Amino acid sequence: MKIVVLAGGYSPEREVSLSSGSLIANALIQNGHRVLLLDAYVGISILPDPLDSLFRTDAEYRHPIGTEVPDLRALKKTSGNGNSLIGKNVLKLCAAADTVFLALHGAMGENGMMQAVLESYGIPHTGSDYTGCLLAMDKDLAKRLFCDAGIPTPEWVLGKGDEAEADRILQRVGLPCVVKPLDGGSSVGISMADTREELIEALRNVAKYGGRMLAERKIEGRELTMGILDGRPLPPVEIIPTEGFYDYKNKYQGNTREICPAEIPRQTVCQMEEYVRKGFAALRLKGYARFDFLLDSEGQLWCLEANALPGMTPTSLLPQEAAAVGISYAELCERILRSATRPVK
């Protein structure tokens, strides 16, 4: 098959996405496919004739992740894209492929916008369709649907992300709390607040990422995650940061200890599996996804959020979970590819 692996994009998570995309592209080439790794925001200015020459069987892609969130303003200045979030010739190249493998994280790559564009053009792609991505990415909508499905989630409040929200958050959620962008990922823009002063600083920080924010009650407990692939929950992972919490730096610089399968009671694993299945259905997800949990000292599970396009980097969790049940990285990519979403005709 001819496959475009679509990565990068105009998102704080573009470096993570390019790292995921590089590994995915290499695995698909290993599986015998012809592949083009394409940055959704940068695109390709001048196309060769024929286009097929861009689809390679011998490439070796690499993209290490730095410690800092990328400077999107600088990227916009150099791109020449203006206000467009899709780079030059991206859709033309996607249409030339048999399938688009989405390795995008955050922003339009994960909130349903890119999926809607591809589906509007009749271009098949991996992962969930635009509806599932939208519902999973909007943390407020996702938590409302969790509640409707009987999935415990920490109490929260939706806000605009400015200092004036502090008193309302204190009244509704209290301290300690967690402040995060409404539609972000990779822990970008997340802050923990134990005091009113820290809450105000957290609101200032989250405002850098624009749009709305979500503040939720902080649950003290063990960090767990569980993926689902083709309707089958995978083994849970426990995440233990060496310091602080599971933030952007700790996630991608190897500053965590990850135990897979997590050493938790079988009863807790079964409860997670039930919540994952219910959450997957409630958010109308397809193919694969990952759900993040906290397990408190009383043994109560709390679902924090769902990820419709889980990371596939060297430190990512879904590949570890798949490996625990004998699914290699290359096989995981192939399974995701084979379950690609086909446009409705």
CA distance 240 to 282: 29
Indicate the fold that domain 2-127 takes in CATH. Rossmann fold (3.40.50)
Tell me what the mean pLDDT of segment 47-59 comes to: 92
Q: Which fold has domain 156-217?
A: Dna Ligase; domain 1 (3.30.1490)
What percentage of the chain has pLDDT greater than the value 70? 92
Active site residue 331: no
307 is catalytic: yes
206 pLDDT band, cuts 50/70/90, is confident
**Considering the entire predicted model, what is its pTM?**
0.90
- Is 205 among the catalytic positions? no
b (16+ CB within 10 A) / e for 206-235: bbebeebbbbbbbbebbbbbbbbbeeebbb
The CATH code of domain 136-152+220-332 reads 3.30.470.20
Has 305 been annotated as catalytic? yes
Q: What is the pLDDT of residues 150-178, one digit of tens each?
A: 999 999 999 886 778 899 999 999 999 99
Which tens digits make up the pLDDT trace of 239-278? 998 765 544 444 444 568 999 999 999 999 999 999 999 9
Question: Which sequence spans correspond to the domains of the chain?
Answer: 2-127, 136-152+220-332, 156-217
73 is a catalytic site residue: no
Check 252, 275, 288, 329 and give the catalytic one: 252
CA distance 106 to 112: 10
186 is catalytic: yes
Distance CA 149, CA 158 (A): 20
